[in-house]
Amino acid sequence: MSGKGTPAALLMAKSISLFRCLCKVMEDISEIISLMNNELCETSVRGMFVTFAGGCLHPESNELSIINMGHLPPFLVGERQIQKIEAQGPPLGVIPGIMNPAKQFSLKNSRLFLYTDGFTEGRLKKGSPKEVGRELGVKGFLRWLLQSRKMSIDEQISFIREQCKTQLAPRSDDQTLMILSGE
């Protein structure tokens, strides 16, 4: 999401409400996101947008339909493979009329990681002189996920918390992590 303060909070509240309401009356995640995008393009303040990564999980089959619109790439980490789910288009509220098909994945024996930029933009406080002060980045965050991939979810969350505490300088941005497990 762009911006901070009240306008950004209002845009996020509107986006969440739109998503929740549309999900109650529609099933096609691509259509839901297209309608959200068009509404945000019509009504948002110039220059404001919402990055979005979300989808629909069918728990009985572990099938996942997901769309990434301008957000950091979620990672689907399995026993033998890693899938990076790149953005399929610009953030919501930028260009009206966009319709992207959802990508389909199986969550079976895998974990899906959705996260905010508070992790990737965190500054390293340890390492070589060349590394100190640099951002952790997407690759650094992925490295943490891979180092902890065989842990239980609770252990993995504790590991990531500890990495943030010991490896990153104090930060002002939020760090939000959501893990979906098909194990």
Top-tier CATH class for 51-181: alpha beta
Q: What is the rounded average pLDDT of the residues 44-51?
A: 85
Please write the tens of the pLDDT for every residue from 138-181: 999 999 999 999 999 999 999 999 999 999 988 777 889 999 99
Paired strand residues for 58: 63
Q: Are 47 and 41 in contact (CB under 8 A)?
A: no
Contact 63, 107 (CB under 8 A): yes
User: Dihedral of the CA atoms 174, 78, 32, 69 (nearest 10)?
Assistant: 50
Average pLDDT of the residues of the chain: 91
Please report, for the chain, the start and end positions of each structural domain, with discontinuous segments joined by +. 51-181
CB 50 within 8 A of CB 93: yes
Global pTM?
0.89
Parallel, antiparallel, or unpaired: how do β-strands 110-115 and 177-181 relate?
A: antiparallel
d(CA 44, CA 23): 21
- Residue 150, classed as helix, strand or coil, is coil
